[in-house]
Amino acid sequence: MKINKNTLGFRLTVLFSTIMVPLLLVLFAAGYYAKSVVLTQVSSSYHNLVNSNLQMIEKSLEDITTNLVDIVDHDDNFQKFARPGLTDSEYYFARLGLIQRSQSYQAYYHTVDMFYLFSRPNNSLTVSNVLGNSEAYMDDVKGWITSSILDPKSDEKLLYKWTIIQIHGDYYLNRIVSDGLSNKAYIGALIKIDSLKSPLNSLKLQGGGNVLLVGNNGTVLTSPTEFLGPEFRLPAEKMNRNSSFSFTNGKRKLFVIASHSPELGISMAVVLPDSELLQGLNYFQALANILPLFAFIVLLLYLYVFRRTVIRPILNLLYAIHRIRDGSMETKLPDSNLIEFKSLNHAFNSMVNEIQHLKIDVYEERLNAQNAELKHLQTQINPHFFLNTLNIIYQLADLNRNELVKKTVRHLVQYFRFMLQVKENPITLGQELDHLLNYLEIQKMRYQDFFEFDIDISEELKEASIPSLIVQPFVENAMIHGISMRNEKFRLRLSAKYAEDQTDTMCIEITDNGKGTTDEKLAELNSSDYAPGSEDRHIGIWNVKKRVTMNYGAEGRICFSHNEPSGLRVQLFLPVQHIKERDYDSDADCR
C-alpha cells in the first residue's frame, strides 16, 4: 500500500518518531555504556587480583627452585647420596639428612605437596610424607616419578623447568634438579595445582563463579565447581595473554578475567556468570529494551485517540465533500463532541442545504429553458420543405395523379400533426420512426429515382422509450447536406438494434452515401463541449446532444464518423428503457 506523505496523520507520526527515536537511542547507548564501564572496572579489579597472586606463585616457585639448586650444589648429604658403594649406614644418614631438610622446606613452603629423592646408583626413591592420600595413590605417584626419571626422554623434559604433569587424574607442577654432570642423583618437588589457588579460596564469587588455573590449551588444571562441570574448558586462543572476555558455555554466558604466566605456561582465570555480575545493569538493560515497545504502544494509543478525535472527523468531512461533488446531495455530517468540529459540521450541513436548494432552482431553470427550446424546435416548420411539398402536390394534380396526391397530402398531414402534437414526454422508438417514414416518403416523391431509403428496426426495440424528435434532426441534416443530384443515387439507411455485447443499450444508426463532411467538422461534432454559432445549421444537433445528456447522463452518447466509401454515419447509443419504467423513475424523482 502506497503511503501518502502529505497526510496529517503521517506528518504527526513522523514528528512523534523524530522525538522518540533519538531519546530511545540515548537510552540504549547509556545502558551499553554503563555495562561497558562496569565490565571494565570489574575486569581491572580482578586483573589486579589474579596478577598479584600469579606473581606470588611465580616467586614461591622461584624460591623453591633456588633451595633445590642449593641442596644439589652445596649439601654434602646430596653428594654422598649420589655416590655408589656407600655403606648402609652412610646411605641411611645421607638420606635421613636430606629428608629432614626437605621436610623443613615443606613446612615452610605450604604449597609443596611432596619432596622426593632418587639415587640412580642405588635405584632408590625417597619421598617426604604426603598427608591425606591413600597408599594406592602414593604408589601411583612413586611409580610415575621412577618411570619418568629412568626414561631418558622424560628426564630431559622434566629437568631445568617447572612442568605440568598429570597423575591419577590430578594435575601437578613438577620440578626436578640434578647435579648436572652425571645425573646420578635427583631431587624434586611436586605441587598439586589445586593448592596454588588456596589463597583465593576465601574470595566470595557470585552465582557459582570460580578461580581456575588453566593450561595453554584451555584445559582446566584445577577442580571446577559443580556450576561449571567437569568438562568445562576455556578457549585456547585467549589463554596465552592477559585478557578479559565474554564466553558462552552451552546456554550460560560467562565473563572471564585471565592472567598468563609465560614461565609456567599456565593462566589464572576468574570465571563469573554474566547474569550475576551485571544483575543490576541487566534490569536496566531490560528496561531499556522494553522501553521502545512501551513507546510504540503509547504511540499507537496516541495515534488511535488522535485519529478518533481529529483525523476521523476530517476524513468524514473530506468523504462528504467527495459525495457532494459526485451528486449525493443528501449527505450530512453527524454531530461531534468537540465544539470546533460541531460548529464545522453544522456549517457544512447548512451549506449543503443551500447548495441543494440552489441546484434545484438552477435545474428547474434549465428544464424550463430546455422545454422552450424543444417547443421551438417542435413548432418550427421548414418553409422550403413545406413549399416543395406543395409544389409536388400541384404537379401531381396537374398530371391527374390523384392517388399520389392523396398519398402525399396524407403523409404531409401526419408529419405536421406529429410535429404540433408531440410533447416533451418520451415516446416509443416505433412512433419516432413512423413519423420519419412520413418525412422520407414525401422526400421520395420529390426526388423520385435519385433517392431511396431503408428502415430496419429490431422488433424488441419498437417499444423502447426515447425522447421525442431525437432522431429527426440527423435525418433532416442528411437530406439537406448530403444529397447531390449530380452524383449517384442518394441512399439513406436508418437502423436500430442492440449494441454489441450489451443487452441494456441500443444503437440507432443513420448512414448515407452523400457528400459527407471534413475531419475537422467531425472532431468538432464529437467534442463534448460542441456549441455552434447562432447561424450554424447544426443547431438541431446541438439541441439533441444537450437533451441526451440531460436524460441519460454518461450512459447516452452520440458518435459521428465517415461512412465508407462516402457519406456520414451517425450512431446514438441510448439505454434501453420503456415508457412505464421511465414514468416510474420520474415519479420517484419527484418524491
What's the pLDDT tens digit per position in 141-187?
888 888 887 776 776 677 778 888 888 778 888 888 887 666 678 88
What's the pLDDT tens digit per position in 417-459?
777 766 556 889 998 898 888 888 888 888 888 889 999 998 8
Contact of 266 with 239, CB cutoff 8 Å: no
Question: What is the spatial distance between Cα 196 and Cα 559, in angstroms, rounded to a whole number?
Answer: 108
Q: Which amino acid is at 245?
A: F
Q: How confident is the model at residue 510 (pLDDT cuts 50, 70, 90)?
A: very high
The three-state DSSP-derived secondary structure of 448-507 is HHHEEEEEEECHHHCCEEECCCCCHHHHHHHHHHHCCCCCCCEEEEEEEEECCCCCCEEE
What's the pLDDT tens digit per position in 241-260?
787 888 887 777 888 888 88
Lowest mean pLDDT among 78-87, 208-217, 280-289, 421-430: 280-289
Question: What is the spatial distance between Cα 147 and Cα 141, in angstroms, rounded to a whole number?
Answer: 10
For residues 172, 121, 68, 91, the Cα torsion angle rounded to the nearest 10 degrees is 110
Sign of CA dihedral 236, 239, 240, 245: positive
Please give the share of the chain, as a percent, with pLDDT higher than 90: 7
Lowest mean pLDDT among 360-364, 377-381, 408-412: 377-381
